[in-house]
Amino acid sequence: MSKIYLDMNIYNRPFDDQTQVRIRLETIAIFSVLQRIKNGDFSLLWSFMIDYENSLNPYNNIRSEIWMASSIANETITPDESILAIARNFEAKGIKSRDALHLACALKGEAAYFLTCDDKLIKRASELGINLNIMNPLRFVEDLEVK
């Protein structure tokens, strides 16, 4: 079963302004991905970075909703030196520190897919030459529909 790592913006997307078409479509795609995880089609990776970034959310209700998503995760990535080393390498190549840590967690958990709504991260991370499919949730769902 393929593993999926969801960037923090994926968990926050349903709480963004749904009157914007792109945001609404990404939200629908995210719900589809989460349903496929619940159905057992994919395995969800959670990480200490998701916990950390979620802890920074000033809205208790949103923070609680996001934390509940951890209940469908099959594995939680905890911090270690190898993750920090990988993240430092990514930072040296222009990836922001939190994004670098998320990518390192995904690699440590042997994720097949890293989903994010961050177009700049998709572009930069795809240039790293790592064995990880980095994409927007819309593209991920579209690719599944074609198969």
Kindly report, residue by residue over 16-28, the tens digit of the pLDDT.
Answer: 999 999 999 999 9
Residue range 85-109, pLDDT digits in tens: 999 999 999 999 999 999 999 999 9
Domains and CATH numbers, the chain: 3-146 (3.40.50.1010)
106: its two tokens: 């995904």
Tell me the Ramachandran region of residue 75: left when phi exceeds 0, alpha when psi lies from -120 to 50, beta otherwise. Answer: beta
Q: Is the pTM of this model over 0.75?
A: yes
Count of Cβ atoms closer than 10 Å to residue 14 Cβ: 18
Residue range 75-91, pLDDT digits in tens: 999 999 999 999 999 99
